[in-house]
Structure 1
Amino acid sequence: IFCQIVRKEDSKTVIEYETDTIVIFKDIRPAAAFHYLAVSKEHIKNCKELTLDHKPLLEHMKESLEKILVEKGVDLEKESLLGFHWPPFNSIKHLHMHGMGPKSQMGFFGKIIFKPNNRWFCTNDQVFEWLQNQPSSSK
């Protein structure tokens, strides 16, 4: 479905923000008052397919989500949560970063599903750290 959204073939999804490399739209099952997905236009299956060459893409996804959350009044330092579901716990096979907040208002299940740094959800910082140990695709 994310490939269809990227190609603008899904009329139900409103794209909130778009650049040459990503689109951002609201999650259809929000875990917080503001819950967005930054989706890579390049089809990357999941985090495990990333290389160091993708670091600028991930930084762009993070910065773009943070900008939207700030516009919605979310305190980035205390109330935002950004990250990825880690394979095999990702239901959509297309790289996407979750950006949500305020996390203090998340429900019980949302706090479990998006609990940072566990086997199924990794913060963007944890993925960046993992990425530092990955080879560049140009090697």
Structure 2
Amino acid sequence: MLQQNDNCVFCRICNGKEQSEILYKDDEYVVFPDIKPAAKHHYLIVTREHIQNAKQLTTEHRHVVEKLIEIAKQVLTEEGADLSDVRFGFHWPPFNSIQHLHLHAISPASSLGFVSRLIFRPNSWWFVSPEYVTSRL
């Protein structure tokens, strides 16, 4: 059985207890739009299991990171996004506002405004690529 946290907004979205437009769901993952989108396509791919953040991942979670990317690409394609102009990443603690693992999928990345380019700057102290996360497992 998946561990979940009733106090977590993402767990509540996954369980249908909190309103959000669900773009994808299966037994382990859910995708919904970011409430403050930085681009036309800005989606959060979350695990149904309550994993606090990317720092909590271990070698056993390698498949989770791979699946998050796979689902992100699928949803972006279905929504008409340009996969050649995309940014994927995780906020890196302590610079994360939601304590639930989620991958940001943003397209077109070239349309990010000044502040969004800072917030979602690849491989900064606060926003890291899936490759960086995988390299730490």
- The TM-score with structure 1 as length reference comes to 0.89
How many Å apart are 1:93 and its aligned residue?
A: 0.3
Instruction: Give the structure 2 partner of residue 60 of structure 1.
Output: 67
Match of 1:6 among 7, 14, 20: 14
Instruction: Give the structure 2 partner of residue 128 of structure 1.
Output: 134
- SS of the residue corresponding to residue 79 of structure 1 reads coil
CA separation in 1, counterparts of 2:75 and 2:29? 14
Instruction: Give the structure 2 partner of residue 104 of structure 1.
Output: 110
Structure 2 unmatched runs, 5+: 1-8
RMSD of equivalent CA atoms: 1.0
How many Å apart are 1:112 and its aligned residue?
A: 0.5
- SS of the residue corresponding to residue 58 of structure 1 reads helix
How many Å apart are 1:74 and its aligned residue?
A: 2.9
CA separation in 1, counterparts of 2:60 and 2:73? 22
Alignment deviations for residues 7-37 of structure 1 (CA, whole Å, 9 cap, x no partner):
1101x20111011111000000001110000
Alignment deviations for residues 84-109 of structure 1 (CA, whole Å, 9 cap, x no partner):
00000000000000001001111111
Greater shift, 65-74 or 91-100, is seen at 65-74
- SS of the residue corresponding to residue 97 of structure 1 reads strand
Structure 1 unmatched runs, 5+: 132-139
Amino acid at match of 1:118: S
Instruction: Give the structure 2 partner of residue 31 of structure 1.
Output: 38
Greater shift, 38-47 or 67-76, is seen at 67-76
Amino acid at match of 1:35: H
CA separation in 2, counterparts of 1:19 and 1:127? 23
How many Å apart are 1:72 and its aligned residue?
A: 3.1
Does the Cα contact within 8 Å between 1:21 and 1:57 map onto a contact in 2? no
Amino acid at match of 2:30: V
Does the Cα contact within 8 Å between 1:45 and 1:95 map onto a contact in 2? yes
- The TM-score with structure 2 as length reference comes to 0.90
CA separation in 2, counterparts of 1:71 and 1:44? 27
1:72 is aligned to 2:70 = no
Give me the identity figure in percent. 45
